[in-house]
Structures are given as C-alpha cells and as structure tokens.
Structure 1
Amino acid sequence: MQKLTNKEEEIMHILWTLEKAFVKEIAAAITTEKPHYNTLSTIVRNLEEKGYVSHHTFGNTHQYYPLISKEAYRKPFMNTAIENYFNSSYKNMVSFFAKEEKISAEELREIIEMIEKNK
C-alpha cells in the first residue's frame, strides 16, 4: 500500500467520514486552506488511480467513495512508525505517550483490561 501525501490523507479522512461525496462536498469539509476546485479534483483522481477511492457517475459528475478502510490504511503505517521511532517496542511507544502526558493512568488501566480480556 502506497503512503499518501498529507493532502491526500486529509481528503481520505473526509471520505471516511462522509462515506461518499462529490468534489464540492469534499471542498466544503476541508478545514485547512482550501485548494482550488481543479486541484482538489486532481488529487481525488490521483487517489482513484492509486486504488484508494472509486466513483459512481451521475451525468457529468462523480461521487467518490473510499475503497480502503481507515483501519486497513492505518495498520501498515503504524507498524512502520513503531519500528522507526520506538525500536519496534510497543512498551516504548506507550511510555512515550505517558511521559508526554498524552495518555492517562485511567486509559492505561483500560488498555490493561483489554489485554487481559484477550488472553
């Protein structure tokens, strides 16, 4: 699976949320600096060429929808990030977030409960 650019990822997040959308609906959902309509349309077509989205045709317009789920996209890149930044150690990753105060003790207890339930 090919890594997407930041703008492509932003558009995929919008499509994952909306589930299907025309380019004008994607543009309306962008919260950062909005690209020109033609630029956005090109980005969406690139996503289609890469196999991330497809479309239904309605006259002269296309309604796009994701072919790849957020979870399917996230998994290989999370694994790579953990390998590259945390020496393939989930313990190092969790301790990093604890030190950065991005995860609470309560959340850690919930994670421990989930792990113990899966044993």
Structure 2
Amino acid sequence: MELRELTKAEEEIMQQLWTLEKAFVKDVIAQLPVPKPAYNTVSTIIRILEQKGFVDHLAYGKTYEYFPIVSKNKYRKFASNKLMQSYFNGSVGQMVSYFVEEEKIDIKDADELMKLIEKMKD
C-alpha cells in the first residue's frame, strides 16, 4: 500500500490514535483540545483514515474500536521524504542548512547531528 499525505485534521486524529494505540471515537475526542470537535466530525475523519488504509477497527456490536495500522515512524519517514523532495531537491544538507539558518536548530541539536554523522563514518 502506498501512503498518501494526510490533511491537517486527519493528522491530528492520527496523532491521538498513535498515542492511545486503540480507542473509541469518544476517547479520541477526550484527548483533543478545546473547543472539542463534534462526535460526527471525528467519526467521519476516522472513517476516511480507514479508507486511506491508516486505521482499522474491531466491532463490538454497533460500537467500533479503532487502531492505527500505519506506524507513526512509517508516516514520519514518508512525510519527511516528501518534505525533502518537494522543498529541498532531495538534499538532506539543504534541509539541515535551512533549519540552521532559520534558527530552528540550536547548538545542542547541532552537536547531536555531528555525533550522528561521526557514528555514520565508523
């Protein structure tokens, strides 16, 4: 199955499902910030996520318990690759350089990056 990009609302619901691991619609709503979206809104978004192949469910009569079938790590890899390809010509260097120039990476983060690079050399 090829992953598709999530809308902002879909991603917000997936973040909750990844955290909860399995949940009923009411459980997802309980985790969302105020103002809480309507039950039907969240239910519809979860059904769309199911159609896109991100979520599945267990049925208990007419009640469904949903759970993610695409891991957060798998989607993170997809989204970061898409970002890198779309905005940085596929270059990790350009992407890191951008974040450094925008001061989104502090000295501690830069030090961690350098340690990772050194570890890759070994």
Query: TM-score, normalization: structure 2?
Result: 0.89
Give me the whole-angstrom Cα distance separating, in 1, the residues matched to 2:35 and 2:14. 16
Shift of 1:39: 1.7
Give me the whole-angstrom Cα distance separating, in 1, the residues matched to 2:4 and 2:29. 24
Give me the whole-angstrom Cα distance separating, in 2, the residues matched to 1:32 and 1:93. 34
Secondary structure class of the residue paired with 1:62: strand
Shift of 1:33: 4.0
Name the counterpart of 2:101: 99
Give me the whole-angstrom Cα distance separating, in 1, the residues matched to 2:9 and 2:76. 16
Give me the whole-angstrom Cα distance separating, in 2, the residues matched to 1:28 and 1:10. 13
Across the aligned residues of Structure 1 and Structure 2, the Cα RMSD in angstroms comes to: 1.4
Offset from partner CA, 1:40-88 (integer Å, 9 cap, x none)? 1111111111110111122321111000001111212211211221222
Equivalent residues, number: 119
Report the residue type matching 2:105 in the other structure.
I
Secondary structure class of the residue paired with 2:36: coil
Give me the whole-angstrom Cα distance separating, in 1, the residues matched to 2:73 and 2:81. 12
Give me the whole-angstrom Cα distance separating, in 1, the residues matched to 2:106 and 2:42. 39
Structure 1 segments unaligned to the other structure (5+ residues) = none
Give me the whole-angstrom Cα distance separating, in 2, the residues matched to 1:51 and 1:40. 17
Report the residue type matching 2:104 in the other structure.
K
Query: Which aligned pairs between 1:34-45 and structure 2 lie closer than 5 A?
Result: 34-45=36-47
* Superposition misfits of 4+ residues, deviation over 4 angstroms: none
Query: TM-score, normalization: structure 1?
Result: 0.91
Query: Which aligned pairs between 1:25-104 and structure 2 lie closer than 5 A?
Result: 25-31=27-33, 33-104=35-106
Name the counterpart of 2:111: 109
Report the residue type matching 2:118 in the other structure.
E
